[in-house]
Copies of this chain bind each other. A is one copy, B any other.
Amino acid sequence: MDSRLVVALDLTDADKLMEIAGNIGGEVFAIKINWPSIMIQGTGIVGELSRFGKVICDLKIADIPNTNSMIVESVVKMGAWGVISHSFTGGDSLRAAVESARNAKVFSVVSMSHPGSSDFINRHTDELIEVSRNAGAYGLIGPGNNPKELARIRKLAGNMVIMTPGVGAQGGKASEAIRSGSDLVIVGRAVYNSHDPLEAVRALNLEILESVQR
């Protein structure tokens, strides 16, 4: 079975990032990077990483349609497999991201995992799922550390793929996120801070596989 593990390499040490990516790239679903890594040297890092496997750019874009398009085109041209966009900026902004992505996949944020997400965004999850569906998003970002809410989102998501952060150092269990309806599980620190990232990846892949077969 293919891996359902997405490893977030939230590192600003480009050498370490590349080393771990080369080490684990063949055994994960994808590598996810965020803005701080791209800020080091621009989008060139996306192209370099794409040699090791799928790259998901977690940019949480939240701008007007034209700017969203420019951002997405830039990383897709460098080889990104997927991009993470917000949906609360409205259907036209998200649709611009989806259209500019062409064959690349756009995941839309409908829930977040940090405490402040309850101030605002997580109170509008259902509307955001609707905006995401109408804009043609490939997938949703849901809460990996909130199984009950994740299961609820799963029911509303239809055939959209669900990817979940909040697993590992943030408290959630990969197996529980999968059982609650997640298709792809994001793990960061528990892999890149491990003394043996590849071993950590293999243990997570096994945990996920067992939870699927149960």
Contacts and interface: CB of A to CB of B under 8 A. Distances in A.
Nearest to A37: B70
Nearest to A10: B67
A90 interface: yes
A119 B130 CA distance: 11
A114 B92 contact: yes
B39 A90 contact: no
A90 B118 contact: yes
A71 interface: yes
Q: How many chain copies does the complex carry?
A: 2
B62 A86 contact: yes
Interface string A113-128: 1111111110010011
A41 interface: yes
A180 interface: no
A204 interface: no
A12 B69 CA distance: 13
A120 B88 contact: yes
Contact of A112 (B10, B42, B64, B121): B64
B86 A115 contact: no
23 contacts: A10-B67, A12-B70, A34-B67, A35-B70, A35-B71, A36-B70, A36-B74, A39-B75, A41-B41, A60-B61, A60-B63, A62-B62, A65-B114, A88-B120, A89-B114, A89-B117, A90-B114, A90-B116, A90-B117, A91-B119, A93-B116, A119-B131, A120-B128
Given A12-B70, A89-B114, 13 more contacts: A34-B67, A35-B71, A36-B74, A38-B39, A40-B43, A41-B41, A42-B42, A64-B113, A65-B114, A89-B116, A90-B112, A90-B116, A93-B116
